[in-house]
Amino acid sequence: MNFIITYDIQNDKRRKKISDELEAFGIRVNYSVFECELNKTKLKRLRLKLEEIIDKKEDSLRFYHICQSCIPKSFEICDKADIFESQELFI
């Protein structure tokens, strides 16, 4: 499952913790925007970790589920890899 995750965190310390967690699960595409490919287990684990950090009264953390049929319709105007581009890894 593909997600766009965005945040608006008021506190510098919490914002750093949130961004560190998100970097472990996805790719930063903007200062407060990440693209993440997550299975159900990873999504649950990430959500639990982020819920421990966030202050729900002050902060905003949004998950946008991107369906497979929507990915080809997405685009970016810059010289970077396509959104959720499939990559072959060789070990």
Query: Which residues have C-beta within 8 Å of that of residue 90, sequence separation ≥ 6?
Result: none
- Give me the residue label for tokens 């965190």: 9
- Residue 79 assigned ligand-binding role: no
Q: How far is CA 39 from the centre of its chain?
A: 13
Question: Residues within the annotated binding site?
Answer: 8
Question: Residues within the annotated binding site for Mg(2+)?
Answer: 8
